[in-house]
Every structure is written in structure tokens, then in C-alpha cells.
């Protein structure tokens, strides 16, 4: 049974290898080898409004953060980042985290959710977000320097949460 709860300081040693190994592929997030553990922890845990972990029993199988996408007059739009442990893919963990994040966003007064940098070749993610109601509203030509494929497009994806 999957459970999603707020992160605690004690979770970091289990979260870090998941993020480190995911970012090291250079296929889905812009973090590079120059971004060490402290930088990533600040970006994933400290800077966002909230960070959550998805638990399968006592094992962390995924994590996401949520924050305002902009300050002030753009702060009613939320932004998230999601990572699932490679061994836990294809079991609905990201779907559950994304549904959870949308509810959290609504509960905290956000009116929309925006993903700024979905790598176009990350087909699983693009299909998943589309299935959950996000639209590709823009294409950033060659904006992501993919570790294997070179310069590929990135998408801005958006979903309205309030009428
Ligand atoms: C992309 C990523 C978030 C997807 O996570 P995931 O947990 O595998 O996603 P889900 O299992 O919810 O959905 C993926 C697929 O599994 C299917 N699925 C959902 N629940 C399922 C279940 N209980 N059993 C089997 N399959 C299931 C979904 O239908 C979906 O199918 P599709 O690929 O045909 O669309 C994950 O692979 C990841 O962390 N990748 C690296 C980082 C990344 O890309 N993050 C997103 C950046 S935008």
C-alpha cells in the first residue's frame, strides 16, 4: 500500500541516492555533476513550500516538492518536481504523487500547476502528465542538453486547478 507523507529530516539519507542516481542520467532534470548533495538538498527540501515522500511500507519509493512557480502576482500557480526510485517505476507512484500534489495545491489556494521543463524525450513523463490533465502549452526548442541525445526540446505543461 502506497502512503504519501511530508518529508522529515531523517528521510534525506534515503532520498539522496534516488535523486542522485536519477539526475546522474542527465535525461530528465537539468541538475549536473557540479550540483552536489548540499545544492540538491537545498533545491528539493529547503527552498520549496513543501516536500513529500511516497512510502511502500517503510521504504521511500518516490518524492516530490511543490512551490509557487513565481513570486507575487504569479504565485497562484504551483510548480512541482517528481522522482520515483528506478526500481519502483510503472506501479503508479508518480500518478499518486501528482494527484496528491494537485490536492495539496488546491487546499493551499493555488489555481493552476505548471511544469517548466519537461524533457520532450522523457516520453513516459509526458504521457503521464497528459493523462493527468496537463497540456503542452509551449515548446522550448533545444532547451535541454540531454546526456545521450544532445540538444532536445523541453515542454512547458500546464493544468488549471480552479474554475
Ligand atoms: C517519469 C516517472 C516520474 C514516472 O513514474 P512512475 O511511478 O513510473 O509513473 P506511473 O507508474 O504513475 O505511470 C507510468 C505508467 O505506469 C502505468 N501504471 C500506473 N499505475 C500502475 C500500476 N498500479 N501498475 C502498473 N502500471 C501502472 C501508468 O498507466 C503509466 O503508463 P504509461 O507509461 O503507458 O503512461 C519516473 O519514471 C521518474 O521518476 N523518472 C525520472 C525522473 C523524471 O523523469 N521525473 C519527471 C520529470 S518531468
Pick from 55, 40, 109: which is nearest to 78 by CA?
109
- Provide the mean pLDDT of the chain: 97
How many domains is the chain built from? 1
pLDDT at residue 162, as a whole number = 85
Nearest atom in ligand 1 to the alpha carbon of residue 122 is 44
Please write the tens of the pLDDT for every residue from 14-67.
999 999 999 999 999 999 989 999 999 999 999 999 999 999 999 999 999 999
- What is the tens place of the pLDDT at every residue in 96-151? 999 999 999 999 999 999 999 999 999 999 999 999 999 999 999 999 999 999 99
pTM of the model: 0.96
What CATH number corresponds to the domain at position 71?
A: 3.40.630.30
Inform me whether the pLDDT recorded for 1 exceeds 90.
Answer: no
Range of the domain at 111: 2-160
Task: Tell me the pLDDT band of 76, cut-offs 50, 70 and 90.
Answer: very high
Please give the sequence-ordered ranges of beta strands (E in DSSP) within the chain, or none if there are none.
2-6, 50-56, 59-68, 77-84, 112-119, 135-146, 150-160
Ligand 1 proximal residues by C-beta, below 6 Å: 22, 28, 82-84, 89-95, 115, 118, 122, 124-125, 127-128, 131
pLDDT band (50, 70, 90) for residue 163: confident
Pocket test for ligand 1, best of 20, 94, 127, 144 (most atoms within 8 A of CB): 94
Which atom of ligand 1 is the closest one to the Cα of 124? 33
Amino acid at each position: 500500500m502506497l502512503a504519501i507523507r511530508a518529508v522529515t529530516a531523517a528521510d534525506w539519507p534515503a532520498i539522496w541516492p534516488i535523486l542522485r542516481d536519477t539526475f546522474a542520467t542527465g535525461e530528465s532534470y537539468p541538475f549536473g555533476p557540479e550540483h552536489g548533495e548540499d545544492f540538491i538538498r537545498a533545491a528539493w527540501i529547503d527552498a520549496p513550500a513543501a516536500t513529500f515522500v511516497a512510502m511502500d511500507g517503510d521504504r521511500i519509493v518516490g518524492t516530490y516538492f511543490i512551490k509557487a512557480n513565481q513570486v507575487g502576482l504569479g504565485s497562484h500557480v504551483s510548480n512541482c518536481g517528481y522522482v520515483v526510485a528506478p526500481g519502483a517505476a510503472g506501479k503508479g507512484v508518480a500518478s499518486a504523487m501528482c494527484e496528491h500534489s494537485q490536492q495539496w495545491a488546491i487546499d493551499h489556494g493555488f489555481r493552476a500547476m505548471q511544469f517548466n521543463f519537461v524533457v520532450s524525450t522523457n516520453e513516459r513523463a509526458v504521457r503521464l502528465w497528459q493523462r493527468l490533465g496537463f497540456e503542452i502549452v509551449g515548446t522550448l526548442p533545444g532547451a535541454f542538453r540531454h546526456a545521450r541525445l544532445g540538444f532536445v526540446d523541453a515542454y512547458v505543461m500546464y493544468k488549471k486547478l480552479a474554475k
